[in-house]
Structure 1
């Protein structure tokens, strides 16, 4: 589990392809203290397992499923990525419950500067639109955000300067895809309703 509060920016240092899967190495100098082999780290919102490590980097295997369901298939060496270590007992829950299991991709439609902040509008696949509610939570590339408004398949979020400069959102332009994870409560509520009313 994660909180959606980005702790550091890393860089993709290497990508190896083998039988359709990929192994990626992420450079994160000064960030990996306390991380052990087998630990989970969210990379742009994707929960990955550290399979090898140095003091300043870790590697992870990305399956065909992960590459298909997330933006990871398009990641390139040199790309910056958002990083968050798994939640531990006693750690402040500043964002919301995030699983690191991406539901799909959202497309950045527009980006407008508003006072000292930025207002971003995203479009999501029709199947995911019902899970997004005004003043609810979403995770975009691992970042916990509050939904400002919803209209059909589109929703808007407001990005404060801290988030803009300390995550990858400041590098995004209209047309870019980001990893979307809807709120866990919405997922479980739908499952409960479906189980009670199969028809």
Structure 2
């Protein structure tokens, strides 16, 4: 589990393709590696990767073919910069939102415009993920926890402050850049709660818990 607060910007040192996918080596720059162990998780552009080798300045991880297919890794090259965050601790200050490190889809930068000292980005919204994205709700872009400031039918707007631009890879985004998108984890659980395993099981769960669609709408979790 992660928070979406980026700790460092690293760089891909090597990509070694094999029949199972790829092994990558990431130069970690300023990321503190003193407490990292084999098997630990490090979110790399929002993708939860398992450390299989490491030293004080880099780590290696295996990337499956499934991950290559569903994320931006297929477009990464040696030298590409990536956002890095180590898995959160129970004692960690929770500065972002709950991030699983499981990418839901690919979004694309549609426009970039300055607004005062901030920058507004409009990004495409995959149709199958649109119902998870809400105005003033949370999304994760390349591992960065962000707030959705406006919605259209097929896109959403992010307003990025200078600090975020400086501490992440947002500065390198251009119109057409593809990014990893993870929707709000709570939205997924709410959907599952409402669906249940079947119509009958859903009715039983609602009667036991007292939680139904009307109650969630009244509480503001669902908007019509």
Q: TM-score band (shorter)? A: over 0.9
> What residue is the counterpart of 1:38 in the other structure?
39
Bigger RCO of structures 1 and 2 (CA < 8 A, at least 6 apart): 1
Higher helix share: 2
> Residue 19 in 1 paired to residue 39 in 2?
no
CA distance in 1, matches of 2:169, 2:47: 14
Distance, in Å, in 1 between the alignment partners of 2:10 and 2:97 is 22
Report Cα offsets for 1:20-40 as digits up to 9, x if no partner: 500000001442121111000
Q: Which residue number in structure 2 is paired with residue 182 of structure 1?
A: 183
**RMSD of the alignment, in Å?**
1.3
Report the secondary structure of 2:79's partner residue: coil
2:9 touches 2:29 (CA, 8 Å); kept in 1?
no
Superposed, 1:158-177 pairs within 5 Å as 158-177=159-178
Secondary structure of the residue that 2:195 maps to in structure 1? helix
Q: Which has the larger radius of gyration?
A: 2
Equivalences, count: 199
Residue-by-residue CA offset, 1:20-78 (whole Å, 9 max, x unaligned)? 50000000144212111100000000000000111211000000111111101111000
* Worse-matched range after superposition: 24-33 or 60-69: 24-33
Scaled by the length of structure 1, the TM-score of the pair is 0.97
| CA deviation vs aligned residue, 1:155-198 (integer Å, no higher than 9, x gap) | 00100000011101110001111000000011111111111764
2:196 counterpart SS class: helix
Q: TM-score, normalised by structure 2?
A: 0.86
- Structure 1: gaps spanning 5 or more residues: none
- 2:8·2:29 contact (CA, 8 Å) conserved in 1? no
- What is the aligned partner in structure 2 of residue 155 from structure 1? 156
- Please identify runs of 4+ aligned residues in structure 1 that moved more than 2 A: 196-199
Q: Distance in 2 between matches of 1:19 and 1:116?
A: 47
| Shift in Å, 1:144 | 0.3
